[in-house]
Amino acid sequence: MSTTTLGTRPQNKAPRTLALGLSRIGYETRLYFRSPDTLLFTFFFPFIMLGIFTAAFSSSGNIGANPDGTGGVSVGTYYLPGMLAAGMLLSGVQNLAVDIAGEKSDGTLKRLGGTPLSPLSYFLGKIGQVFVTAILQAGLLLLVARLVLDIALPTEPGKWATFAWVFVFGVITSAFLGIALSAVPRSGRSATAVVAPVVLVLQFISGVYLQFTTLPEWMQNLASIFPLKWMAQGMRSVFLPESFAAAEQSGTWDLLWVAGALGVWLVLGLVLSRVTFRWIRRDA
Amino acid sequence: MTSTPPAVHVRDLQKSYGGVEAVRGVSFSIAAGETFALLGPNGAGKSTTIEILEGYRDRSGGEVSVLGIDPHRGGLDWKARLGIVLQTSNESGNATVTEQLRHFAGFYPHPRDVDEVIDAAGLREKAKTRVSKLSGGQRRRVDVALGIIGRPELLFLDEPTTGFDPEARHQFWNLIRGLKAEGTTILLTTHYLDEAAQLSDRAGIIVGGRLIDIGPLDEIGEADARVPVVRWRDGNGSVREERTSRPAEVVADLVAIGKGAEPEGLEVIRPSLEDVYLSLVRGHEAMVAGNEAAASANDARPDPSRHTDRDVRA
């Protein structure tokens, strides 16, 4: 056979992969905002929950108040960090697991697999989309917290530095875990049924909906295996007064543990994503 | 012609899923610039063959070269030279026609102009419509448009006109003729034999995972299957037929017998590709049935005709 390869020239691969990845981010983000299901269950869900909790529990007074009713923080203030953490989890895990499982079963991935799009560009697009939407979501949550719920936000730069690394680290970890989890559902239709309960249970045991410090110890220990507990704890360290640290499991914010747990889950997510991702389900 | 390597070369291709042999020793070549149709009943192994060439499936045996490269090892540069129109798709389609084409055009080093492709595919009026809002036939045109946006050297069309109305099919044929004129090599599978006759230079017929015939369209089938039929109504009004390789002679005789009177309902029918195809497929199936009856002692044999050529992974 001839080895003629008409029209193939050495291309500058890395910049091209990056450029296509950036173009994917724009495309994916646009499609994200056109999908009503995704918008409701990943983007606006934390807003809805924050609204409900604030409305339902505000009458029972501040959380962490002294016996005489002074001190503590408002219900909204208390729940804000949990909702930010939930948003990170939803934007990554729920969004991508459902999205990619759907793309696998509806032929989107098969079509892309027949084009010269590098899987790396595809992943850049997905992770970038998660970042863009998670940043918009967190920004909007903070804005609503400040302007609508009148929650005082921290002013110390150190707190915001903590916010930044917990957020970036948590969102990347969530994104990779979402890609890894997308391999589990057998069809696009069953994806929501597989993914939503996992995410929901995590939110209940990790201190998003229920005050983490009031949960039984075994549940706290169980939650500590999973990343959401650590994201929520990191966020509490930013938005709650130092006095609340005493109520945490070890009596401190344990930011090193937050970083360590997210690091382990990030590596796990990366490896699982790499091992399980296929443009198409391989045949025998 | 002889100096140019073939665009596609397949030798003794085999593919089995578990114990089922879907493709059992298929060989053919497609010259650069040629349009080749792969015909055959459902489950014959057409789509399995085409998906091996596209790099979606791994073969169990045989040799395959597509644009000089083994599809199993085809990288992104290789994919950039292909255009693939898959059999079915049901993507959510939240992008508009223009958005999706523009985005896909960015994947390729030398894409076609997006507006030209939209016009050629007859999608001008739907250019700003989301794909999810299109009819089945219109979505199929988007599939075709996405297949050609990268200016492919080799275009795979797997049942491209399913769901098209007659006008859309004729538009599509013109589009494909334009691609042929530009030198695009095309591998087509279709259930519409007139489509194969309109577009392709040569055809191969796959039945039961085997290529039972291959050749230029006017030579497919045995010479016997192409013998024309002269049909007319005799004096009693009953329809008469005569198979003959010399139809003019038969007609002349009829006229002579009738002393110059015009024979009633006179037709000279040349078997269409469809007739030739059906007789080939039936002949092959009868032969296989005969063989299987003879070898019926072994009834555990897998039946290749029960394997559908739809995507088995779906």
Residue B49 lies in a domain: no
B99 and A116 within 8 Å at the Cβ level: the answer is no
Residue B168 lies in a domain: no
Residues of B with Cβ-Cβ distance to A115 under 8 angstroms: 79, 84, 104, 107-108, 150
The boundaries of the domain holding residue B264 are 228-269
What share of chain B has pLDDT > 90, as a percent?
51
Q: Is B168 helix (H, G, I), strand (E, B) or coil?
A: helix
Residues of B with Cβ-Cβ distance to A114 under 8 angstroms: 54-56, 79, 82, 84, 86
DSSP A63: B
Residue B178 lies in a domain: no
Which pLDDT belongs to residue B272?
81
Which pLDDT belongs to residue B305?
45
Gyration radius of chain A over CA positions? 21
> CA dist A17 to A30, A244, B149, Å?
20, 46, 19
Total-model pTM: 0.85
Look up the ipTM and state it.
0.88
Nearest to B94 among A35, A113, A117 (CB): A35
Gyration radius of chain B over CA positions? 23
For chain B, the distance separating the N- and C-terminal CA atoms, rounded to the nearest angstrom, is: 41
Question: Is A31 near chain B, with CB under 8 Å?
Answer: yes
For chain A, the distance separating the N- and C-terminal CA atoms, rounded to the nearest angstrom, is: 28
Spatial distance between the Cα atoms of B28 and B114, rounded to a whole number of angstroms: 34
A115 and B314 within 8 Å at the Cβ level: the answer is no
Residue B256 lies in a domain: yes
Helix, strand, coil percentages in chain B from 3-state DSSP, rounded to 5? 35, 25, 40
- Confidence check: pLDDT of B313 > 70: no
Q: Which residues pair with B61 in a beta bridge?
A: B14
Q: Tell me whether strands B82-85 and B61-66 are parallel, antiparallel or unpaired.
A: unpaired
B89 and A107 within 8 Å at the Cβ level: the answer is yes
With beta carbons less than 8 A apart as the criterion, state whether A276 and A97 touch.
Answer: no
Amino acid identity, position B10: V
Which pLDDT belongs to residue B3?
63
A114 and B56 within 8 Å at the Cβ level: the answer is yes
Ranges of beta strands (E only) in B76-193 are 82-85, 154-158, 185-189
Question: Is A12 near chain B, with CB under 8 Å?
Answer: no
With beta carbons less than 8 A apart as the criterion, state whether A232 and A208 touch.
Answer: yes
Average pLDDT over all residues of chain B: 87
* pLDDT category of residue B202 using cuts at 50, 70 and 90: very high
- Confidence check: pLDDT of B222 > 60: yes
Spatial distance between the Cα atoms of B270 and B218, rounded to a whole number of angstroms: 11
Residue B260 lies in a domain: yes
Spatial distance between the Cα atoms of A175 and A97, rounded to a whole number of angstroms: 9
Domain ranges of chain A: 15-57+73-276
A280 and B313 within 8 Å at the Cβ level: the answer is yes
B95 and A27 within 8 Å at the Cβ level: the answer is yes
With beta carbons less than 8 A apart as the criterion, state whether B229 and B269 touch.
Answer: yes
Spatial distance between the Cα atoms of B310 and B42, rounded to a whole number of angstroms: 8
Residue B248 lies in a domain: yes
Nearest-Cα residue of chain A relative to residue B79: A116
What region, left, alpha or beta, does residue A122 occupy, with left being phi > 0 and alpha being psi -120 to 50 degrees? Answer: alpha
Nearest-Cα residue of chain A relative to residue B76: A116
Residues of A with Cβ-Cβ distance to B57 under 8 angstroms: 283
Residue B53 lies in a domain: no
How many C-beta atoms lie closer than 10 Å to residue B121's C-beta?
27
Of A193-197, A203-207, B200-204, B242-246, where does mean pLDDT reach its minimum? B242-246
> CA dist B138 to B87, B100, B143, Å?
14, 14, 9
Token output for A176: 């990779």
As separate numbers, helices (DSSP H) first and strands (DSSP E) second, chain A gives 12, 0
Spatial distance between the Cα atoms of B186 and B195, rounded to a whole number of angstroms: 13
Which pLDDT belongs to residue A8?
44
Q: Phi and psi dihedrals of A158, rounded to 5?
A: -60, -40
Spatial distance between the Cα atoms of A3 and A14, rounded to a whole number of angstroms: 26
Question: Is A192 near chain B, with CB under 8 Å?
Answer: no
Question: Is B20 near chain A, with CB under 8 Å?
Answer: no
- Distance, in angstroms, between A117 CA and closest chain B CA? 6
Q: Is A130 helix (H, G, I), strand (E, B) or coil?
A: helix
> What is the rounded average pLDDT of the residues B143-147?
94
Residues constituting chain A: 284
Spatial distance between the Cα atoms of A219 and A204, rounded to a whole number of angstroms: 10
Consecutive 10-residue runs of chain A (284 residues): their mean pLDDT?
43 84 96 91 93 86 76 88 96 95 91 94 96 97 94 94 97 96 88 92 93 90 95 95 88 93 96 88 50
Burial status of residue B126 (CB atoms within 10 A of its CB: 0-12, 13-18, 19 or more) = buried
Token output for B134: 């299109």
**Domain count of chain B?**
1
